[in-house]
Copies of this chain bind each other. A is one copy, B any other.
Amino acid sequence: MKIDGIDKIIIRRLVKDARTPVLSIAREVGISGAAIHQRLRKLEKSKLIDGYKMVINPKALGYTTTAYVGVFLDSSSQYSSAIKRLKEIPEVIESHYTTGNYAIFIKILCKNNEDLMYLLNKDIQNIKGVSRTETFISLDQQIDRQITI
C-alpha cells in the first residue's frame, strides 16, 4: 500500500473531522471529488482505515476520573476468563496483557472516587483469579492523539 501526499491530506482532514465532505477535500487538493472518492474507497479497503467514530466527552457524562489499574492474577491461565468478566464492566475501556509486573493492565473511567473504590474492591477484586491490583489515577492528561501520518 503506497500512500502519497494527496492520500495524506485526505487522511489528515478526516482524522481531524470524520464528517468532512469529500468535495471539501477535493477543493483543497485541487482535484475532482470523484478522484478523492476513489482514493478514499481504496484507503478504506486497505486496512489502514479502521473506521470513523464520534468521540464522546466522558466528562460531560460525569466520568471525571481516569485511572489505570495493574491487575495481578494468581495464574496466567486465568487470563481469558478474567477478560470475559472485565468486558462486562462498562467502565473498563481498555485492557492489555502486558509484560512486567502485572498480568492485565486496564484503563477505567469512573464518575468519582467512590465509584472507583467500588469498582476496584467489588467488581474487579471479585473476579476469580485476581489476587490484587495497583491503581494509578490520572490527575491531568496533556497528550491524546493518534499516530502521525
Contacts and interface: CB of A to CB of B under 8 A. Distances in A.
A72 interface: no
Contact of A60 (B46, B54, B100, B144): B46
Contact of A99 (B15, B96, B137, B147): B137
A59 B93 CA distance: 20
Interface residues of A, number: 62
A105 B16 CA distance: 25
A139 to B, nearest CB: 5
A95 B141 contact: yes
Interface of A: 1, 11, 14-19, 46-61, 63, 66, 68, 83, 86-87, 90-102, 105-106, 109, 134-149
